[in-house]
Chain A
Amino acid sequence: MSRVELRKHMGIGLGSGKEVFLNQYIVMLDGKQVGYKGCNHGDPINLTSRIPSDLIRVVKDEIDLLLGDESKANELIGTWSHEDTTETEQGETEDDIFDS
């Protein structure tokens, strides 16, 4: 069963007051929004949640399958050291180069 669902991103136009299709999908993972995906072929998947890389892969693969697309998944860029789960007890991560 697919974990990813694409919902049409609809909005209310602030000029016309009419319902507008915003030419992108809301990307849902397990029933919760994790990003947006433009409707054009190759448009990137813009994530709005920090999700692990394995889940990003799931999202990308399932969207590519659903749309026959070859999109790029854009992660939220940049992490603070306290978010870096790969850091060891010795603090051997790249950002520690600047701390020494």
Chain B
Amino acid sequence: MPAYYVGEGATATFPGITSACARSISISGFSVDKIDATCLDSDNFKEYVPSFLKEPGEVSATFRFTGELPVASVGDVGTATISFGLLDGETTAASLTGSGFLTDVSTSEINGSSLVEMTVTFAFDGVGTEPSFTAAS
């Protein structure tokens, strides 16, 4: 039976926040603008070409707030690494890594009935280490 990634063992590392226990991780994905290149004699559909610049995107993660968590500051520059965890038989994990900076650090409502969490958002800067994917092995 093939193994699938379900998030088990995934970790997220950001500047100032190292290996804290992540409860969820989201990756915004990467995108490129489409440029309308339609001519008056185009047939049926508008014509588009991709921009030569790509949007490097961002990642965010929510952690349990333990009080032990190092305090991160928005604007902190560094490297983010999302590790997808090890499946059976793997020795190194698939990962997404790139340089950038923290754009948002926030804490959930403290209400006595739900877990206090910290959410961190990191934007890839597109000028240092470009967002890069490493395959598991």
Contact = CB atoms under 8 A, between A and B. Distances in A.
Contacts, number: 95
A32 interface: yes
A33 B81 contact: no
Interface residues of B, number: 33
B62 interface: no
Contact of A22 (B11, B63, B129): B129
Nearest to A7: B92
B92 A47 contact: no
A24 B13 CA distance: 12
Interface string B94-124: 0101000000000000000000000000000
Interface string A1-45: 000000101111111100010111010100111011010000010
B51 interface: no
A75 interface: yes
A97 interface: no
